[in-house]
Amino acid sequence: MELPDVLGVFAHPDDESLAAGGLLARHAAAGARTAVVTATWAEGTHRVPELARALAVLGAGAPRLLGYADAKVPESAPGAARLLDAPVAGAVRQLVAQLRGFRPDWVVTHDAHGGLTGHPDHRRTHRLTVLAVRAAALPGRYPELGEPVRVRRLLLATHPAGAARELAPLLLRPGRTAHVVPDGEAWALDVSPWLERKLAAVFAHRSEVERGALPGRLAAAAPADRVRMAGTEWYQLRPLPGAGADRADGPPAPRS
């Protein structure tokens, strides 16, 4: 079955594997083109080779880096602005260049809440991606960056409230608030057929495994808990003006 080409846009190395590794692996396995833009961390830092290994596992090509600094880790991009402080216009321009160069059918990014953790870099990446997807479709915007491209689907990686009640104790550190969307507003994708590849990509982020972040908790979990934690992905569908029909197997519109 032919599946749409997908471009992921995520805040940090490992977000792509944790939030959408199953979707990316699914589409790559079906012969679709996939790629990932990462907003923070820069060449020469230890997490970029980890990102490269994870993307190779997922079949998503080489890292595409915007080069901004993580909100809480200035050494992630020495001398560069934090993503939160970077001018919106410059960041959107970089993303438009990526969109027009890759020309995806679908784009996947964080939801407006910043995913389950609500990380501010996730929220900023969501905003920049929405702006860039709209700008990339307009002939009068950034004509020097190539022909306009109209994305068919903008998918927002998320967790519905019901699933989060079960999974938050496994996915979040104690005391952390889970940022969720109402039940019925997200499309569930069973990624268990691609779970082995998704987990291999997550574990390629070795420094996060070693420091006990979510990749580390997944590595330490029992096999059954790994399936519960990572075997389903949820996405909101963001309406796009003038979007056409998908080539195959698109998510349904959210239920009212």
34, 99, 102, 128, 153 from 5: Cα distances, Å: 6, 12, 9, 20, 11
Give the DSSP letter of residue 106.
E
232 pLDDT more than 80: yes
For residue 243, the model assigns a pLDDT of 65
- Residue boundaries of the structural domains of the chain: 6-238
**Closest by Cα among 215, 256, 214, 254 to 235:** 254
The mean pLDDT value for 40-47 works out to 98
Looking at residue 98, its amino acid is Q
Q: What is the dihedral of CA 76, 82, 84, 85, to 10 degrees?
A: 180
Cα(70)–Cα(122) distance, rounded to whole angstroms? Answer: 10
Strands of 187-190's sheet in order across? 64-68, 34-40, 6-10, 106-110, 153-158, 232-238, 187-190
Q: What is the residue-averaged pLDDT of the chain?
A: 94
The predicted-structure confidence for 128-153, as pLDDT tens digits, reads as follows: 999 999 999 999 999 999 999 999 99
Percentage of the chain beyond pLDDT 70 is 94
Candidate CATH numbers 3.30.379.10, 3.40.50.10320, 3.40.50.2300, 1.10.3720.10; the one for domain 6-238:
3.40.50.10320
Cα(113)–Cα(185) distance, rounded to whole angstroms? Answer: 14
Which of the four pLDDT bands, split at 50, 70 and 90, describes residue 175? confident
Weakest mean pLDDT among 26-30, 55-59, 119-123, 175-179: 175-179
Cα(8)–Cα(38) distance, rounded to whole angstroms? Answer: 8
DSSP letters, 51-97, are HHHHHHHHT--S-EEEEEBBTTBGGGSTTSPBGGGS-HHHHHHHHHH
Cα(26)–Cα(42) distance, rounded to whole angstroms? Answer: 28
